[in-house]
Amino acid sequence: MECVFDISGSGMHEPGASLKRLSTADFERLSLFIHQELGIKMPPAKKPLLESRLQKRLRALGYASFTEYCEFLFSPGGLEQELVMMIDLVTTNKTDFFREPHHFDFLSRVALPALVRTTGPRVTVWSAGCSTGEEPYTIAAVMSDFGVNNPGIAFDYSILATDISTRVLDHARKGIYKKERLLPVPDGVKRRYFLRSRDASKELARVCPELREKVRFMRLNFMDEAFPIDGQLDIIFCRNVIIYFNKETQERLIWKFCEHLKPGGYLFLGHSETLSGLGVPLKKVSASVYTRQ
Q: Exactly one of 26, 53, 99, 239 is catalytic; name it.
A: 53
- 187 catalytic? Reply is no
Q: Which of 122, 126, 104, 141 is nearest to 292 (CA)?
A: 126
Alpha-carbon gap, residue 45 to 10, rounded angstroms: 10
Pairing of strands 289-292, 261-268: antiparallel
Q: Which of 268, 215, 261, 258 is nearest to 234 (CA)?
A: 261
Q: Which of 186, 178, 226, 228 is nearest to 206 (CA)?
A: 178
Task: Give alpha helix (H) positions in the chain.
Answer: 24-38, 47-61, 66-73, 76-90, 101-106, 112-119, 134-149, 166-174, 187-193, 209-212, 247-259
HEC secondary structure over 184-233: CCCHHHHHHHEEECCCHHHCEEEECHHHHCCEEEEECCCCCCCCCCCCCE
- How many whole angstroms from its chain centre is CA 102? 19
Alpha-carbon gap, residue 32 to 22, rounded angstroms: 14
Q: Exactly one of 26, 88, 163, 234 is catalytic; name it.
A: 163
CB 106 within 8 A of CB 185: no
- 163 catalytic? Reply is yes
First-to-final CA distance of the chain: 25
Give the residue numbers annotated as catalytic, written as ranges.
53, 163
